[in-house]
Chains A and B, each alone.
Chain A
Amino acid sequence: MDGNSVVGEAAIRAGCQCYFGYPITPQNELTEYMATHLSKRKGCTFIQAESEIAAVNMVFGASLAGVRVMTSSSSPGMSLKQEGISYLASCELPSVIVDISRGGPGLGTISAAQSDYFQATKGGGHGDYRTIVLAPSSVQELADMTHRAFDLADTYRIPVIILADGVLGQMMEPVEFKHEPPERLPVRSSALRGAKGRPRRIVKTCTSNPSEMEEINWSLYRRYQLIREEETACETFLVEDAELIVVAFGIAARIARGAVKNARASGLKVGLFRPITLWPFPSNKVEELANRTKYFLDFELNMGQMLEDVQLALNGKGEVFFYGRPGGVIPTPSEVLRVISRHYYQKGLK
């Protein structure tokens, strides 16, 4: 199965009851999968919305009604969704948003890029809010993280973004689904469906009271701190004795992994560090690695967006080199290996 369809199937198995989307390449297979498979299921709905703005607001409505709901898009569409994501965050409405990103800015290209890192991790919409951002790097992970995204969204009442890219979305790989679809679709206890037998509920973002606004933001902030402590995730590969560690996420991490293996084969002590959650960013782990290794190479399919987070995490404790390609063209592992070797020898690490 292609990565996009895998996300769809995993969502259905996670109990996703509603999907609202608007076509955009390279994620159309996901929208089409939901049209074909989700709408067949009892109690489930698929709508091809009139725009990404409408789709994300339909997500808002379905989440109000207490069900698991998802939308997906790609870069230009994600820009349109930002208004809704800010409102979802403010109203603490669980939701899963998949960004199979492409090259930009503007209409850009449909091939892979990682140039939406800033937008996904730093807000994108207005206000002091965060979203959890998961960055899979294989089709199997697309499946697993889709499931996890729904759980995280419900646990923390927060929108969760899965940030993948065109290559992953189109890629075919064997995949194992670890869950069966639930027989009965759950409804969250906080749902808005009419105030039968209980006091009415209101879900709002607007307040004319400055101290109420402050309290809302404090409460969101405390939740974000908790997520930082509990849910930060990363993966390391051959870092124990590494003299140089490549930092990369998503599809770039996959390329980097190949480069690291080849480097090892030629005797270079190189490791890989891959953030799995881009927000919260695994800063502590980077700092910890800097106690053992002085040199880092940040590799991304953009011109250095995650680099800022790596530098912040290192806080001067190590030296970071950067290698980026601005997206569209996918570099090979040997290209990355050449960059690794250059820095490795220049620093006299051999």
Chain B
Amino acid sequence: MSALTAIGEVLVLLGTFFYILSALGLIRMPDVYNRMQTATKSATLGSLGVIIGVGIWALGTDFGSAAWLTKTIVIAVFLLLTNPISAHALIRAAYKSGIPLWEGSVVDKYREHIDAKTTETETPEETPEEGGEE
């Protein structure tokens, strides 16, 4: 067993650990926003560990070549770019379709943002004061 095999196997073990943590967070968290937050972060980190680990592990074996590491890095970068986009789209869809927050939640920045935008557009008489200061 060479050093590359050992490094790759440790990375795969770490990634597997984070996969199981993401599945546990998906089961235990109270509402859909907390579930998405825990599960996406740890699943992305677990994917990076497993995929890069397989690439390094294959370099240490007799059948492996540099193409393994190149292809696994391509897959890992693709997952790292697209997982936050899909999480953002899903949570935006959940908020727009009216799913309420958990009763223990204390901060709702997106609601404050929407309220600020609506009051700004519905009360145009505040804008001459801002224009006078300029």
The reply to whether chain A is a binding partner of chain B is no
> A: which residues have CB within 8 A of B?
none
